[in-house]
Structure 1
Amino acid sequence: MTTLFLMVGLPGAGKTTRARQLAGEHGALRLSPDDWLLPLFGEVVPDGKRDVIEGRMLWLALEALKLGTNVVVDYGCWSQDERTAIRWLVETEGASFRMEYLPVDAETQRARIAHRWAAAAQETFPMTEADILHGQTHFEVPQPAELSGHPADGPPAGWMSWREWAADRWPSFG
């Protein structure tokens, strides 16, 4: 059975390092918007294009699973709805879903972000204190039920299915 590994955490948590390890260990395709946004657009958040890139990557991830290839998705996935939608889509395809949550304390996060910028500025993007605080405020920490594989049952109110929700969240997915 193929597996999709979903990296979850804030910037500086070690997601990309762990994603690279998992890709090597499991012969997996690693998909990260950061690897595409900087080369294509010269910035990480170019006028909403991140959602478009993530949507196409999610579509590609599901296609790869169908072909028998393991996938590592390195988005961060700050919301439980995003994580639940991806889990539902993966499991609907008959693949296995594994969440890799990497918590990070604020001091370590800031040190890693500063180090990454100093060591590999061409592969990353600058983050202000406001950016860091925004992430810390908006990130929904996975709760025990979600981590144990029991996410929310149905899509949020107003949505008929998780597929419909995902197509709205990531416009290029559907």
Structure 2
Amino acid sequence: MPHIHLIEGPVGAGKSTYARALSEQEHAPRLILDQWMTALFAPDRPSTDTLAWYIARKERCVQQIWRVAQDILATGSGVVLELGLIQRRDRARLYGWVDQSGHTLTVHVLDADREVRRERVRQRNRDKGDTFAVEVPDHFFEMASDTWEAPDEHECRERDVRFLRSDGA
């Protein structure tokens, strides 16, 4: 049965780089929320009230990505999902969908020291390299970092959760 790999972690933890490597290793396509959000909505992004605007669109994107993932899984291929589900309740909803689908899931949780992540994000903003999808200002980095909820004991007991450090710590 095809397998689902969910990659999560705080902003700047190295998720996109890890997703690319895992995708190659597993011969499974990547479905990355930031790429979808940029392609579909970046031209319409308002200059104010961006959080409410983002949340509404993120929800629709995650639902559509899941639909596409189901189509891919039906072909016999696994998928690598990077969905920005930084809060436990959002991951719990995805877990319900996964359970209904009958597929197996591994959650890869990446993390790094906050200062390392902040500098990575700033560097990515400057370079706009191959993992760049959208500019992440410092205030958004701080808000997203403060909002991040790592999997707790219950989540780890219920799921195959693997923690990875991307800063060598």
TM-score (norm 2): 0.78
Displacement of 1:87 in angstroms is: 2.0
- What's the CA shift string for 1:51-70, capped at 9, x where partnerless? 22221001111222222110
Corresponding position of 2:95: 87
CA RMSD of aligned residues (A): 2.3
Q: What's the secondary structure of 1:76's corresponding residue? A: coil
**Deviation string, structure 1 residues 98-143 (Cα, Å, up to 9, x no partner):** 1010112210111110111122168332222221121122111111
Aligned residue identity for 1:81: R
**Conserved 8 A contact 1:15-1:76:** no
Cα separation, 2, equivalents of 1:38 and 1:99: 24
Kindly tell me the number of residue pairs found equivalent between the two proteins.
151
Identity of aligned residues (%): 25
Q: Which residue of 2 aligns with 1:60?
A: 68
Deviations 1:8-60 (CA, angstroms, capped at 9, x unpaired)? 11111011111111111111121012222323333596733232222100111
Structure 2 stretches of 5 or more lacking a match?
47-52, 161-169
Unaligned runs of 5+ in 1: 152-174
Of residues 135-144 and 9-18 in structure 1, the stretch that sits farther from structure 2 once superposed is 135-144
Distance 2:67 2:110 in 1: 24
Q: Alignment partner of 1:21: what SS?
A: helix
TM (norm. structure 1) is: 0.76
- The residue identity in structure 2 corresponding to 1:142 is P
Q: Distance in 1 between matches of 2:93 and 2:17?
A: 24
Distance in 2 between the 1:15 and 1:44 partners?
26
What amino acid is aligned across from residue 149 of structure 1 in structure 2?
E
